Amino acid sequence: MGIILVVFGAWVVVKLGPSGEAQFSATSKAPGAVVVPPGVLNAVDGQVRVDATRRDGGLVRLVVAPSTDARAMLTTAAVSTVGAAHYPSGTLDLHPSGTGELPDVSTSDVWRQAVKGTGTAELVVDQARAPETVVITSGDTTALTDVTVSLTWADRAWFFEALAVATLGAVLAAFALNDLWQGRVQAAQRVAANTETTEETA
Amino acid sequence: MTRDDLITATAAKLRLRRDDFTRVTRVLLVSLVSVAVVVTISAVPGCGATHTLLGIHEAPAVAAGSVPLTVDKARLIVSRSFDAAHLGATTTGAAGARTLRGAYSSEGLRAMAGRVKLASVQPLRATSALRAQHPTLLAVSRGFGFPRFIIAQTVESDGGLPVLHLLVSPDAATPYRISMSVEMVPPAAVQPFAPLSRGSLMVTHGTGLVVAPATLLNRYAAGMAFPAKAVAKAPFASDSFSGQVRAGAAGVAKAVATQATFTQVHTVVPRSVFTVRQANGDALVFGAIERTDTFSVKKGQSVNTSGNKAFVLLSGKKRIATRATITTLEFVVFAVPRSTGPATLVAAREQIVAGSGS
């Protein structure tokens, strides 16, 4: 048990690093927008950083809205929706759906936050107004292709929790090894005592 | 060779005692199994141990009664719309028209387009209210349905009457735009709405009010007709605006009596009625009424209209021989009680939008 905790805790410590960052990414090749639904975006209590990078260096726009409004905006539009995040591989599942044209998201007022950039853009979403959805587009009605999306959760508490787990495991393992060592010594002493008794009898 | 002999021989090869070899083998086995268990349980999607450690949970459900707009966002929308409205009203040509379309919607756009056309004869005084530095937000929508609204109030910089503004977003893809801006009628006051953080509900069927909003506006419109028609048990209190409209119609009819027959019809514009519940259970009802003034020229008569500069600008006619019509939009806002008492007019404005003649 102690060794399990040491291995698990130490491994998570190494994966997260001192900043407690867990990062997942995927590259969407299907044309259309990329959607990060609340099941992924609002799965933890801390802030989530969403980064999008276009390989062709074109304009990229990230917007966030209440999930019902985002759904109403996209309806039948071609989108790739982020599914499960895989840990520790750091990958995201993307599920393409829809074939319709993307509406011009820049004119709508449903977006609570919006950022845009050339080639890359980044949006930090807190959890105060969850459930929300992030939509990544080209900034107009043209479809995005070949865009890499990264989601980063950061919580220093995760690092220290993992460290605590590893430490607890190390303590347990130390006790267990000590017990094993003591058993070895006692066995050796028993063997020595038996040998002496035999010699005296002879 | 038995299993015990094999263990003893292997331990001897490694120069270890048999007991030590057994312990080392056990520790190695436990370590390998531990690593395998950790890797396996961590690699399973939705792994409970990792989720617990990282605090991963289901996304919260949508709260039906929450407010889709933050107060800051609502203020930004109001400022953006007012800036565009002012720019559109003071810019000529296609650019001005395009800017106005971005600022106003539905009857608000019709009224503003009419106002801009008549700028040379009707000064754009009311647009100065849109330049107010700090419009007061009175209400925003509660819930995620559409249409959504923002109600704001401004006071003209020259100390004129307060103006109520209704901004509406009909669907997720269409931004908020000014649906109407209506000057308040002294000494009317607007009862408070629910706090902006809670949002206000839109009343769709008129239940819980002394009169349904659509019925109220239909009867109010009917009561302003000329020739006058009596309205039995009017659900609204008498007010200065309808009095002026009726008096104006009677005056026009008298002035043109020898040359033309004058009639005036008021019709509530479909889908223009918008009702918002207030904190005390009463409601504020916004509506647009289209007034059509018709002049039927008597046989053998010809009317010189050059004195009516607005009509000349809109119709291009300085003389009519058969018939003329002038279309005016009347924007009204009523306070409608929850249980007893008549509805009272809070704000009203009219704007000529079209004219034609032959």
Residue type, B63: A
- Whether residues B169 and A66 touch (CB distance < 8 A) is answered with no
Do A134 and A108 have their domain in common?
yes
Mutate to test the interface with B, among A44, A87, A133, A168 (most CBs of B within 10 A): A87
Nearest-Cα distance to chain B for A146, in Å, is: 26
A89 and A138 within one domain: yes
Residue of B nearest to A1 (CA): B34
pTM metric for this prediction: 0.81
Shortest CA gap B338–chain A (Å): 32
Which of B27, B37, B172 lies at the smallest CB-CB distance from A110? B172
Contact B23, A186 (CB under 8 A): no
Distance (Å, rounded) from C-alpha A92 to C-alpha A85?
5
Let me know: does B160 contact B129? Beta carbons within 8 Å.
Answer: yes
User: What is the per-residue pLDDT across A64-114, written as a single tens digit (0 to 9) for each?
Assistant: 999 999 999 998 899 999 998 887 788 999 999 998 888 888 899 999 999
Q: Are residues A109 and A28 located together in one domain of the fold?
A: yes
B44 CA to chain A: closest CA distance, Å? Answer: 8
Residues A43, A143 within the same domain: yes
Instruction: Please provide the DSSP assignment of A67-87 as one string.
Output: HHHHHHHHTTB-EEEEEEEET
CA A140 to each of CA A52, A60, A99, A103, B48: distance values in angstroms, whole numbers, following the listed order: 16, 9, 17, 8, 40
Residue A100 sits in the same domain as residue A144? yes
- DSSP 8-class letter at B10: H
Kindly identify which residue of chain B lies nearest to residue A37, measuring between CA atoms.
B59
Q: Looking at chain A from residue 101 to 160, which residues have their Cβ under 8 Å from any Cβ of chain B?
A: 103-104, 107-110, 112, 129-131, 153, 155, 158
**What is the β-pairing status of strands B162-169 and B260-268?**
unpaired
B55 Ramachandran zone, left/alpha/beta (phi>0; psi -120 to 50): left
| DSSP structural state of residue B224 | T
Token output for A138: 């080209």
A28 & A106 share domain: yes
**Contact between chains at A87 and B42 (C-beta distance less than 8 A):** yes
| CB-defined contacts A:B, below 8 A | 106
List CB contacts (< 8 A) between B27 and chain A.
177, 180
Substitution target from B35, B38, B73 for chain A, most A beta carbons within 10 A: B38
Q: Which residues of B touch A86 (CB under 8 A)?
A: 45
CB proximity A73 to B under 8 Å:
yes
Q: Residue B53 belongs to what H/E stretch?
A: helix B48-54
Shortest Cα distance, chain B CAs vs residue A99, angstroms = 18
Give how many domains chain A has, as a whole number. 2
CB-CB neighbors (< 8 A) of B66 in chain A: 66
Q: Which range of residues forms the domain containing residue A101?
A: 21-154
Set of chain B residues whose Cβ sits within 8 Å of the Cβ of A185: none
Please determine, for the modelled complex, whether the ipTM score is greater than 0.90.
Answer: no
What is chain B's pLDDT, residue by residue, as a tens digit (358 residues)? 677 888 888 888 887 777 777 777 877 787 777 767 766 665 555 556 666 666 778 888 888 788 999 999 999 999 999 999 989 888 888 999 999 999 999 999 999 999 888 988 876 655 555 665 578 999 999 999 999 999 999 987 667 789 999 999 999 999 999 999 999 998 889 999 999 999 999 998 878 999 999 999 999 999 999 999 888 889 999 999 999 999 999 999 999 999 999 999 999 999 999 999 999 999 999 999 999 999 999 998 988 888 889 999 999 999 999 999 999 999 999 999 999 999 999 999 999 999 999 9
What ranges do the domains of chain B cover?
Answer: 3-54, 71-357
User: CB-based contacts of B42: which residues, under 8 Å, 6+ apart?
Assistant: A8, A11, A87, A88, B49, B50
Q: How far is residue B332's CA from residue B345's CA, in Å, rounded to a whole number? A: 7
Question: Are residues A95 and A67 located together in one domain of the fold?
Answer: yes
Distance CA A82, CA A26 (A): 9
Verify that A173 and A98 share a domain, yes or no. Answer: no
Which A residues 44-63 touch B at CB under 8 Å? 44-46
- The distance of B11 to chain A (nearest Cα, Å) reads 15
For residues A44 and A188, give the distance between their C-alpha atoms in angstroms, rounded to a whole number.
Answer: 54
